[in-house]
């Protein structure tokens, strides 16, 4: 929760988005989203992220 608070202040992201950003950062996971703003915020703060619409299906 501390990480979420820090990221909220740093990014200005919504409370819901901040939780996803914090989880990805703490776990060292790739954030997969179709929300362009959240994708950009993640990249700005060094969280690996991928836009769902750019993932090709087999």
pLDDT digits (tens, 9 = 90+) for 16-32: 889 999 999 999 999 99
- The H-or-E segment that residue 31 falls in is strand 31-33
Tell whether the model's pLDDT for residue 58 goes beyond 70: no
Dist CA 18 CA 27 (whole Å): 14
Q: Which residue has the higher pLDDT, 23 or 9?
A: 23
CA 19 to chain centre: 8
The span from the CA of 24 to the CA of 58, in Å, is 26
Q: Has this prediction a pTM greater than 0.85?
A: no
Residue 47 sits in which domain range? 1-54
The number of domains in the chain is 1
Are the C-beta atoms of 21 and 39 separated by less than 8 Å? Answer: no
Phi first, then psi, for residue 54 (nearest 5°) are -95, -5
């Amino acid at each position: 929760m501390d990480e979420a608070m820090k990221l909220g202040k740093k990014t200005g992201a919504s409370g819901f988005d901040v939780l996803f950003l914090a989880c990805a950062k703490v776990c060292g996971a790739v954030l997969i989203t179709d929300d362009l703003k959240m994708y950009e915020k993640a990249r700005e703060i060094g969280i690996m992220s991928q836009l769902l619409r750019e993932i090709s299906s087999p």
